[in-house]
Structure 1
Amino acid sequence: MSNVKDNLSEAGSHLKSAAVHAGDSVKGAAAAAGDELRLGRANMKAELADGAVAGITAAEEMGAAAKEQMDVLMDKSRDMIDSTAELIRERPLTAFGVAFAAGWVIAKLARSGNSEK
């Protein structure tokens, strides 16, 4: 019976030691998980900040490109107005005739659109 008690006592000691090791492992895993969580959070914040900076840069570049396109369109419209003014100065009767014809066509279209309603 003494052997049984000794063996049970030794088994209890091993179980106690295993429980202590398991507790230490859980504590270590929790600490490591906490460290990984903090690192992951820091990496996520850094990526979000980099994404925001890239988005702002893209928006600024789009604004600059839009301004450039607007400048090109304004230059073209000025050129078109200048060439139209020159054409009117060179051929005033032709310009008047074209304007009169365009007005007549627009008036006809407007009247025909009103009569359908």
Structure 2
Amino acid sequence: MARNCPSTYRSPQMNPTHTDNLKSNLGEASDHLKQAASHAGDAIRGAANVAGDEVRLGKANVKSELADGALSGIAALEEGAGAAREQVDQLMDKGRDLVDSAADLIRERPIASFGVAFAAGWIIAKLARSGDK
């Protein structure tokens, strides 16, 4: 008797029920979600590959700049040594000029030079003795 009940009987020619439509739509939604997850995974893998490539490129650029900086630093050190030699040479030339000037002055005025040297020695001796007390 249950077969004659209109609520449970379906004929093949009848339209699908709401439950059938729900199941169909949920199945289709599930398929779309699976595809979306697959595409998202592909996108993440692609982004990770691109990011990895960018990191490798950045690392190579950093290494290159550090190497160039080291070479520039070495070149600056070499130039610094040359500049120091130039300064020492200039100081030596000035020292020679002072010694030559002093020698010329001593030749021109030997008695005055002796007096100045004697007075300077006497003052230095006095200062040294006063520091001992």
Same fold (TM over 0.5): yes
Q: Which amino acid aligns with 2:110?
A: P
- Percent identical among aligned pairs is 66
The equivalences for 1:5-84 within 5 A come to 5-84=23-102
Consecutive unaligned residues in structure 1, runs of 5 or more = none
Q: Does 1:100 align with 2:118?
A: yes
Indicate the structure with greater helix content: 1
Distance in structure 2 (CA, Å) of the matches to 1:106 and 1:75: 28
Deviation at 1:103, TM superposition (A): 0.9
Higher Rg of the two aligned structures: 2
> TM-score, length-normalised on structure 2?
0.80
Q: Deviations over 1:80-104 (max 9, x none)?
A: 1112122222222221111111111
Tell which has more relative contact order, 1 or 2 (C-alpha 8 A, sep 6+). Answer: 1
TM-score by length of 1: 0.90
Give structure 2 stretches of 5+ with no counterpart.
Answer: 1-18
Matched, 1:90 2:108: yes
* Matched residues, number: 115
Displaced runs of 4+ in structure 1, greater than 4 A?
A: none
State the superposition RMSD in angstroms.
1.2
